[in-house]
Amino acid sequence: MIDDTSAREQVVRAADELFYARGVQAVGMDAVRTAAGVSLKRIYALFASKDDLIVAVLRHRTQVWDAGLASATERATTARERILAIFDFLDSWFRQPDFRGCAFINTNGELGGSSEAVADAVREQKAAFQAYVARLVEELGGPPGLAPQLAILAEGAQTTAAIAGTPDAAEHARAAAETLLDAAARLQTVGGSH
């Protein structure tokens, strides 16, 4: 037998893939069991219920997202480049063949109305992303109002790419972000109303 920690990890990883590909409610616990190779008894010893597993999957996705975002932006030297690197990160994500939109948005749409725990986990992740963008904008010296605008571009690109089935939205969002960054820089240098 394997220890609890790696069993948990296997279950979460398998459930994550299945939930993301087919939606949460369409995946039965039997499918999770088969994919993870962990018995149902064990799964229910590690997680109190399917809802618990869903939340654990969302927290795992948060970690994966945070790590991917960090590694995508750390190469850039300036704050502006780091902000634009977010959209390059989205672009490469949208190009993956199994891309099916943002798991947090999808899960929130499916269960956010009934499960408060799910809604909370999703809200937390999006708030963390907003805070990350806000930090970059602050580093840049941009106005505080710029950060939510950039975050909205990133969110919109994700849903647009998921529904259209093309990665174009990343480029469009990146171009819009550049325009917003330019406008902020211009306001900063000339420092006045038009």
Partner DNA sequence: GCCCTCGGAGAACGATCGTTCTCCGCGTTG
Partner DNA sequence: CAACGCGGAGAACGATCGTTCTCCGAGGGC
Contact 24, 111 (CB under 8 A): yes
Query: Quick one: what does residue 122 bind among DNA, its own copies, none, with the CB cut-off 5 to 8 Å set by partner type?
Result: its own copies
- Is 67 a binder of its own copies (CB under 8 A)? no
CB of 97 to its own copies, least distance (A): 13
The structure tokens listed for 126 are 């999006």
Contact 108, 119 (CB under 8 A): yes
The structure tokens listed for 109 are 């749409």
Distances (CA, A) of 135 to 42, 118, 127, 138: 42, 26, 12, 5
147-160 b/e (C-beta count within 10 Å ≥ 16 → b): bebbbebbbebbeb
Binding mask 13-32 for DNA (x = CB under 7 A): ------------x-xxxx--
Query: Quick one: what does residue 109 bind among DNA, its own copies, none, with the CB cut-off 5 to 8 Å set by partner type?
Result: its own copies
Give the binding range for its own copies (CB under 8 A) out of 2-10, 39-47, 77-85, 158-166.
158-166
Query: What is the C-alpha separation between 110 and 102, in angstroms, rounded?
Result: 12
Longest distance between any two alpha carbons in the chain, whole Å: 70
Query: Quick one: what does residue 129 bind among its own copies, DNA, none, with the CB cut-off 5 to 8 Å set by partner type?
Result: none
| Site residues (vs DNA, CB under 7 A) | 1-2, 25, 27-30, 37-42, 44, 49-51
| Site residues (vs its own copies, CB under 8 A) | 21-23, 25-26, 100-102, 104-114, 119, 122-123, 126-127, 145, 148-149, 151-160, 162-165, 168-169, 172-173, 175-176, 179-180, 182-183, 194
